[in-house]
């Protein structure tokens, strides 16, 4: 007999354990799954390209997010972290996968970019490791791989790590295009994330209701010759944390 629930963290870990490693991207073994994903760098994966997201480049170009301290969540091979560093941001980047962090580190060294990479779970980073508060928290593809209960952890991270007046730049699956449209409760019955969660514009506005919406639109479809990455099956959003 086990009676091992006495905190919110205990509940979160219990719920995490409901998701089978072979069925989703968020388990105790998530790092191993993502390591396998990033091992073959020649795979035709759209976001393996060394290009920033078109919306992120646009925010910087239009002056919506002036240079400051930035945290790149789920940085993968580091393409967006590199772009932010090139634009004058002081960048921290975090990912669960050792393969991803190693690849991103190689790209940073080749570019001469000064980026602090962290290997591990962003929700478990200490205050010393985070080095916030951040003027920008950027997430391209992490949010839609979180199970529903981890949105609580996500919002808590924004609350403690994002500076007043700072921005969240988010890219995630759009309903009708990519990702599962199951109701939240059904993911626990299915014990899997079905490859990722799709979101509507209304659901994003509701989840981030405590933030001011700056822009919410579908990502532009960028041609192969473009200097930026863009796929129309994704939402792009920029939210501001007001003082």
Q: Are 77 and 48 in contact (CB under 8 A)?
A: yes
* Residue 13, in any domain of the structure: yes
pLDDT at 200: 97
Environment class of 63 (CB within 10 Å of its CB; exposed 0-12, middle 13-18, buried 19+): exposed
SS3 229: strand
64-78: pLDDT as tens digits: 999 999 999 999 999
Residue 123's domain spans which residues?
Answer: 8-240
pLDDT at 29: 63
* Residue 198, in any domain of the structure: yes
Q: Are 157 and 121 in contact (CB under 8 A)?
A: no
* Residue 83, in any domain of the structure: yes
Rg over alpha carbons for the chain, rounded to the nearest Å, is 17
* Residue 73, in any domain of the structure: yes
For residues 149 and 18, give the distance between their C-alpha atoms in angstroms, rounded to a whole number.
Answer: 11
Environment class of 2 (CB within 10 Å of its CB; exposed 0-12, middle 13-18, buried 19+): exposed
* Residue 2, in any domain of the structure: no
* Residue 25, in any domain of the structure: yes
CATH of the domain at 37: 3.40.50.150
Which portions of the chain are predicted below pLDDT 70? 1, 20-29, 31
Domains held by the chain: number: 1
pLDDT at 1: 64
Beta strands in the chain (DSSP E): 69-73, 90-95, 115-119, 134-140, 162-173, 212-218, 234-240
* Residue 1, in any domain of the structure: no
* Residue 67, in any domain of the structure: yes
């Amino acid at each position: 007999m086990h009676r091992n629930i006495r905190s919110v963290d205990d509940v979160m870990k219990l719920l995490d354990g409901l998701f089978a490693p072979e069925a989703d991207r968020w388990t105790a073994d998530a790092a191993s799954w993502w390591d396998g994903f990033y091992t073959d760098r020649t795979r035709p994966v759209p976001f393996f390209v060394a290009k920033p997201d078109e919306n992120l480049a646009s925010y910087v170009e239009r002056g919506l997010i002036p240079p400051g301290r930035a945290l790149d969540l789920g940085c993968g091979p580091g393409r967006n972290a590199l772009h932010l560093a090139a634009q004058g941001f002081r960048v921290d980047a975090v990912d669960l996968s050792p393969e991803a962090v190693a690849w991103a580190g190689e790209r940073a060294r080749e570019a001469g970019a000064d980026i602090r990479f962290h290997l591990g779970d962003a929700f478990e980073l200490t205050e010393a490791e985070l080095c916030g508060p951040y003027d920008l928290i950027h997430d391209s593809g992490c949010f839609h791989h979180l199970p529903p209960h981890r949105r609580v952890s996500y919002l808590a991270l924004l609350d403690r790590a994002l500076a007043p007046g700072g921005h969240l730049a988010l890219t995630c699956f759009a309903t009708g295009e990519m990702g599962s449209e199951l109701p939240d409760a059904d993911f626990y019955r299915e014990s899997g994330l079905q490859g990722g969660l799709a979101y509507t514009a209304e659901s994003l506005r509701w989840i981030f209701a405590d933030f001011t919406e700056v822009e919410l639109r579908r990502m532009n479809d960028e041609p192969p010759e473009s200097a930026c990455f863009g796929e129309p099956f994704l939402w792009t959003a920029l939210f501001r944390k007001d003082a």
